[in-house]
Amino acid sequence: MVHERVNDLARALSGTAGKSPYPQDTIRYPLVSLLDGPEVAERDRWLIAAESADGNTRVFREIAEAACDVGLPWMQKRTSLEAIVYELRDGNGPWRRTPYLTAALWMEGQVEAAEAWLAQIASQLGATPAQIPASLRGLSVTRVGSAAPPEGWTRHAFEVFAKRLRMGMAQHPDGPPEGWCPQAD
């Protein structure tokens, strides 16, 4: 799902506004998981094969019915900012969800919650990798844990984003006005 106002604000804060005509999904959740639960893989539900034109027609019909019967009501329940925040906190969004989550929180007027999320991500930036346990010393270890930045942020990109967001929240603590854009850096 794409929530245009949240998407526009997140792109403006990230400095990516105007670079792509394709908006990022705000909430992402596989249809098959709605039907059969999160443990089911899409390949277990519907298989499309080049050799089976009749079978493909059945599969397309089933997908369309599932989208209408289950997917549309699910999406209609997720149009509010509160629902967007819930889904993003639950991990049902893009890989780099901080711009979308903090934008939605700010739009709700939840400045403290947006600050808390920023602090959580900032605390993970530059964290030292996990120490190799003594029982593994002397063995060939290829990887223990990960020192990758959260959501793929570089420290500089995150700090620029956080600065823009904080300036906006300071100016408009109850949420951004319609069409708001951060000042040029």
Asked if 68 and 41 touch (Cβ cutoff 8 Å), the reply is: no
Domain for residue 37, yes or no? yes
Instruction: Write the pLDDT tens digit of every residue in 125-182.
Output: 866 656 767 777 777 655 555 556 788 888 899 999 999 999 999 999 999 998 888 8
d(CA 102, CA 11) in angstroms, rounded, equals 12
Sign of CA dihedral 78, 80, 153, 110: negative
> Would 18 be classed as within a structural domain?
yes
Domain annotation covers residue 133: no
Is the residue at 92 inside a domain?
A: yes
- Asked whether residue 80 is domain-assigned, the answer is yes
**In a domain? residue 137:** no
How many domains does one find in the chain?
1
* 139 located within any domain: no
* Inside any domain, residue 60: yes
Report the distance separating Cα 69 and Cα 72, nearest Å: 7
What confidence tens digit (pLDDT) does each residue in 88-113 have? 999 888 889 999 999 999 999 999 99
Domain span at 26: 4-126+149-171
Calpha distance 121→89 (Å, rounded): 13
